Amino acid sequence: MPQARRSRRSAGSDGGGRGLGNVEANIKKSATRWKRPDWVKMEDGESVVVRVIDVGSDFKDGFVHPVEFEGKGRGSFTRDVMCLDQDDDGTPCPGCRDDLERRFKFWCRVIEREADKVNDSGKTIGYEDQVKILSGGKRLAGALNKKALRRNLSKRDIEIEREGTGWDTDYSVEWVDEKDKPLKPAELKMIEESEIDLDRYTYTPDFDDFYELPGRDDEDEREKPGDRAKRGSAFREKSKTRRTSRASDNGDDGDDDDPRPRRRGRTVKSGGSLADIRKRKQAGGSKDKPAIRRRRSR
């Protein structure tokens, strides 16, 4: 009677063997390295509680021009490029020369309290504090600066509430804590590990590189200086025609230059107040759905 063929088993297969090379470690590194930073989003009637991280000279702001670029395989997209004439002293700037929209914008890192925690499919699976980018225009910056002139914004949480859309948008900023509260060691570690680089958004290009994406290799090394600015002319008219739509859609809101779907905002049940936030923080927080993650006031 023929003997049953024995299956070949590699060494170390008994009881679970070693992984393949550094696959597991490198997959984890890849997931964190290429993760895009999240941005604080607020719709009309919503509010969000944050702790501002960047204050003083670390708070980034300036004037930008919206410039349209051609993406690789994903069509065109618009990115804000820093104006070269920040001090209005007549410094030559392609954006000013081509009559592109010029507006004020700021960027700073914040810890958003009880932000949506989503999985790879975009489904909310919980709520947790997260380091994000807060960006906007002169109205939000003015409301923040009004508080900053009285007290260091990095010392206590604030609640930012938005009312309106487009150019008809106003913001109010209120203290959440009655006294200064230093960040906990876990929060400081979270900030350090976030690896958000604001210089990416405040990078000021040379005149000839104004219509080039930062870090993009030249397709033709023999290209003469000045040709790059000329090549941007194909996008200038598009940028001009998009001014009205961008103004009505975005107003003073911050926007990510990476095209990705915006998550639907979540409003909060009536009865929420800053006092409720303080009580929940004193109780150590909760893993359940926050009762007043965002507040709608009408």
Domains of the chain: 39-258+267-282 (3.90.198)
Place of tokens 């639907």: 264
| pLDDT tens for the 298 residues of the chain, in order | 555 555 444 444 455 566 777 777 766 655 544 456 799 999 999 999 999 999 999 999 999 999 998 877 668 889 999 999 999 999 999 999 999 999 999 999 999 999 999 888 889 999 999 999 999 999 999 999 999 999 999 999 999 999 999 889 999 999 998 899 999 999 999 999 998 999 989 999 999 999 998 764 433 333 344 444 444 444 445 444 444 334 333 334 443 333 333 332 333 333 333 444 444 445 544 444 444 445 434 3
**What is the distance in angstroms between the CA of the first residue and the CA of the last residue of the chain?**
86
* Neighbouring C-alpha atoms within 13 Å toward the C-beta of 208: 7
Look at residue 136 and give its three-state secondary structure. strand
Q: Which of 65, 83, 32, 9 is closest to 236 using CA atoms? A: 65
Contact 134, 38 (CB under 8 A): no
